[in-house]
C-alpha cells in the first residue's frame, strides 16, 4: 500500500515546477530565532510561575505551621526556587509589555524585534537582581 503522505509532500513553486516539501516543519529544518526563543521562554516562564505559585503556597503554609516547617521551606533550596520564580516573574512581566506594544502594531520590524528582545533580557536581569538586593537588605 503506498504512503498517502507522499501526495501531501509535493508542492509547486511559483513558476509551476514541482518540489518535494516536508509534511510539516520541524526543528531539523528551522534554526532557532530570537522571536521563537523569546516566545518559547515566555511560555516556559508562564508554567514556572504556575508551579512557583504552588511552591509559594507551600512556603506560606509552612510559615503558618510553625518554626520547624518554616525552616525547612526557608532553606537554601527554597531560596534557589524563589530566585527562579522571581526571574520568571520579571521575564514574563517584561515580555508581556513587549507583547502589549505588539498589540498596538509597534515593534514588528526585525531590528526592533531583536532590540526589544535584548531589552527584555537586560530588564529581567536588572529587575531580578534589584529585587533580590532590596529583599536581602531588608531580610538580613
What is the per-residue pLDDT across 85-118, written as a single tens digit (0 to 9) for each? 999 999 999 999 999 999 999 999 999 999 999 9
**pLDDT of 1 above 60:** no
pLDDT attached to residue 3? 66
Burial class (CB within 10 angstroms; exposed 0-12, middle 13-18, buried 19+) of 49: middle
The alpha carbon dihedral of 41, 43, 48, 49 has a sign of: positive
Extract the C-alpha cell encoding 76: 537554601
* Cα separations in angstroms, 82 against 56, 68, 128: 8, 19, 11
Reply yes or no on domain 35-139 having CATH 3.40.50.1860.
no
- pLDDT at position 127 is 98
For the chain, the structural domain boundaries read 35-139
pLDDT at residue 101, as a whole number: 96
Nearest to 92 by CA among 37, 39, 35: 39
Phi, psi of 3 (to 5 degrees): -75, 120
Tell me the mean pLDDT in the region 8-33. 76
pTM of the model: 0.76
For 20, phi and psi rounded to 5 degrees?
Answer: -90, 130
* pLDDT at residue 140 in the model: 82
Q: What is the pLDDT of residues 22-38, one digit of tens each?
A: 666 666 667 888 988 99
DSSP letter at 19? E
The model's pLDDT over 44-77, given as tens digits with 9 standing for 90+, comes to 999 999 999 998 898 899 989 999 988 888 888 8
| Continuous segment of H or E residues that includes residue 95 | helix 76-103
Amino acid at each position: 500500500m503506498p504512503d498517502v503522505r507522499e501526495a501531501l509532500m509535493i508542492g509547486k513553486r511559483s513558476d509551476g515546477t514541482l518540489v518535494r516539501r516536508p509534511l510539516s516543519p520541524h526543528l531539523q529544518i528551522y534554526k532557532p530565532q530570537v522571536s521563537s526563543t523569546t516566545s518559547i521562554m515566555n511560555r516556559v516562564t508562564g508554567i514556572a510561575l504556575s508551579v512557583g505559585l504552588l511552591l509559594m503556597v507551600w512556603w506560606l503554609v509552612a510559615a503558618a505551621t510553625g518554626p520547624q516547617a518554616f525552616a525547612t521551606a526557608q532553606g537554601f533550596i527554597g531560596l534557589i526556587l524563589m530566585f527562579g520564580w522571581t526571574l520568571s516573574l520579571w521575564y514574563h512581566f517584561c515580555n508581556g509589555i513587549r507583547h502589549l506594544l505588539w498589540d498596538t502594531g509597534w515593534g514588528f520590524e526585525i531590528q526592533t524585534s531583536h532590540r526589544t528582545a535584548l531589552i527584555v533580557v537586560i530588564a529581567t536581569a536588572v529587575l531580578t537582581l534589584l529585587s533580590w538586593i532590596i529583599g536581602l537588605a531588608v531580610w538580613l
